[in-house]
Chains A and B, each alone.
Chain A
Amino acid sequence: MMLGRTGRNLFWLSRYIERAENVARLIEAGYRMALMNAQAGTSSEDLVSMMQALSVEALFFEKFEMADLRAVAQFMIFDEDNPSSIKSCLRHARTNARTERTALTTDMWESINGSWLEFIQMRPNQSSEKYLPDLLTWVKKASHQWRGALLGTVLRSEGFAYGQLGNFVERADNTARILDMKYYVLLPRATMVGGELDIQQWALILRATSAYRSYRHVYHDRFKAWNIADYLILRPEMPRSLIFCTRWVQETLDMLTSFHGGRSKAHEVADEMSAMLEGSDMDQIFRTGLHEFLTEFIGRNYALTEAIGESYGFY
């Protein structure tokens, strides 16, 4: 027995923690690019496109004139006007956890509460960017700790399922957005050998999805645009790929049928997403248009969130 409100809060609690982790990866990747390609005190295109991927760039330029690393880091980490900043994500996650304290194990609660208390006590010297790598590593660790506490201690009941759904819906959204922000560097071209700048852009995508090293393990090859798109969309062994996330969502929805005694509208939407991916290949996707494909996926993923809320009485 679980309140619909609790289901919603667990779903979003997971989403926010996953988002905090993804934002940290994105800033980390953007940080490397900005160090190499932008002078201190100048605007960085990569940082702007990163904010575009998260749909917060308009808000950023309401507050700042120039997207240099210092301003973007401040905005993306500490600014609570930014709904996707790490601080906003952690605060939402922790508020949801506090509200649903009774649905969490002690280990889960202590993980999220402890991370929040540590985070708000951090007073990095923001006059330089030196604090960034350590802090971003800390954010990823906090997310890992949460996941560890969750997987290691929670009952495999309804609440677990809603958390998993939130986790994978959010992750798929992030991966799709990161791909979309750089889709043009992934398009097949007359020359299959990328230039220096392409290599850097590809590395940015891979780092932001935690795929930089594992790419080699899967492809044993130099960076190729085709492979990178394939890896993040269609490879079922890649835990941040769209197909991985979608399969996990389906599996979790199947688990929920044992509590709810049947398939729901959410199953239908997930099946449609699955149909976009299963049995498809990059050839087909490039023919449809990569950008069009990603836009459609993001739209369906949004519809999935709505359908989950409707099917399981979230309010």
Chain B
Amino acid sequence: MHHLNVSSSEQGVPLPRDTEPFNEMLNADGSVREPYLVLSEWIGSQPLPALKTMTIEAENLFRRLGITFAVYGSSEATERLIPFDVIPRVISAAEWRRLSKGIEQRVRAINAFLYDIYHRQEIIRAGRIPAELILQNEAFCPQMMGHDPVRGIYSHIIGVDIVRVGPDDFYVLEDNLRTPSGVSYMLEDREAMMNLAPDLFRQLRVAPVETYPENLRRTLESVAPAGRERSPAIAVLTPGIHNSAYFEHSFLADQMGAQLCEGTDLIVDDGIVYMRTTQGPQRVDVIYRRIDDDYLDPLTFKPESLLGVPGLFDAYRAGNVTLVNAPGTGIADDKAVYTYVPQIIEFYLGERPILNNVPTYNCTKEDERAYVLEHLDELVVKEVHGSGGYGMMVGPAASKKMRKDFAERIKARPGNYIVQPTLALSTCPTFVKSGIAPRHVDLRPFVLVGDLIRITPGGLTRVALKSGSLVVNSSQGGGTKDTWVLED
């Protein structure tokens, strides 16, 4: 079995010290890896106070622009900045080619899978995935059965979470097929870096990320319902100003020239969706929704939802409006279904997966369960339908009592948990209080699926700022870095 020290981006763990994590800048002998040659020299030439000044400048910029995320509770402190690290992360052109090929393969297969699941369910008939795993899954949306979304695409906007554990070892942790966030940080981090270190951009050829909003618009236009004479009217549907990602919603609407709407700004009349404008109702063709499935339409889903639009789902099913992403995409990024993605790729594309899944133990199988219960102190246990770090145990960091508790839970409901080894996330040089030190990172590249599959080079790098910590989540003090894909 794998003997890796890694973790999901959701874990808060001291790293077991039996292997050195992969350092993206330095080889074991202290020499600098090729993609980092220029950057490493630059870092060496920056006095620490200069880096400190850059950090403050960047923070002032972010605060002025209002790039904040909401923290619920106190009043003035309700808007906080995500810490920004002024040292970028570098990925070589060759590394990126392989990564992006792997990502493209994955999103192609997943969309094929979603189409199948909501139509003939060949993959279940073929016995490649258990029927109950799909049909009894909370993320499965029976209302979607038989519906044909434009171009057959369900998940148009995807943020794949990837961790690296070696020079050529990349693992996909999660596919995030519903409403992934963070793309505004990717764009603003780049803006900040271009202001702070223009000299570096002159020395290196860094692939641009600023095409994202235009590509997002093209993607959304390409999936508008057919037969419109004018260019499609696009709305971004947000839960509102109190949502932690509100900045991103308004930023994206602004950048691609779409209308930012809350549920109350939209009405459905006779199966057609309209915005309530100063000049009366105006028809909407495509909705990039940043509201979860359950809250989209109180008539179809949660009746108590105040965020959604009554009648929206029927308008969608009638083909009068496109919802991006489609309802029901969550079935493909459910933690239990995740373990089948390699089979999904082989089933629909007839290809070997390019990117690894994190090896996962299935506790319903007796031998694997026995292994898990023996080795809980080195493994990560995740509740199948949980997210955001809830219902999760990280063995190396857990108390004896907690491990015992989880052992009982696994025995009682083995199908409710998946178990994975603790992976050692790679590290990048990071500016911290004590100077420059390696810190663990993950990567979330952003993918757009429409008339084409468009992957922005790089993505959002999240970094755990505490020494040894594997927690990169912003809600737990993680920061972000600009991510540079070098061009050949």
Contacts and interface: CB of A to CB of B under 8 A. Distances in A.
Nearest to B246: A98
B278 A7 contact: yes
B282 A1 contact: yes
Contacts of A2: 277-279
Contacts of A312: 278
B66 A3 contact: no
Which label, helix, strand, loop or mixed, suits the secondary structure of the A interface? helix
| Residue from A5, A106, A259, A260 whose CB has the most chain B CB atoms within 10 Å | A5
Nearest to A114: B64
A309 B204 CA distance: 54
Contact of B259 (A1, A162, A259, A260): A1
A268 interface: no
Interface string B244-264: 001000110110000111101
B366 interface: no
A113 B64 contact: yes
B34 interface: no
B97 interface: no
A263 interface: no
A259 B280 CA distance: 12
Contacts of B63: 117
A241 B259 CA distance: 37
B197 interface: no
Given A110-B65, A117-B63, A101 B254 contact: yes
Contacts of B246: 98
Contacts of A114: 64
Contacts of B277: 1-4, 313
Contact of A102 (B253, B265, B280): B253
Interface string B156-193: 00000000000000000000000000000000000000
Contacts, number: 68
Interface in B405-434: none
A49 interface: no
Interface in B32-76: 63-66, 76
Given A4-B276, A5-B264, A113-B64, A101 B259 contact: no
Nearest to B265: A3
Interface residues of A, number: 27
A260 B260 CA distance: 22
Contact of A99 (B233, B241, B259): B241
B64 A102 contact: no
A315 interface: yes
A255 interface: no
Interface in A154-184: 158, 162
A99 B253 CA distance: 12
A86 to B, nearest CB: 16
B250 A3 contact: no
B278 A101 contact: no
Contacts of B253: 102
Contacts of A98: 66, 241, 246, 250
A16 interface: no
Contact of B261 (A3, A110, A120, A315): A3
A75 interface: no
Contacts of A43: none
6 contacts: A6-B278, A98-B66, A102-B250, A106-B65, A113-B65, A113-B66
Closest 10 CB pairs of A and B: A102-B254, A101-B250, A312-B278, A7-B278, A313-B278, A2-B278, A4-B276, A99-B241, A102-B253, A3-B265
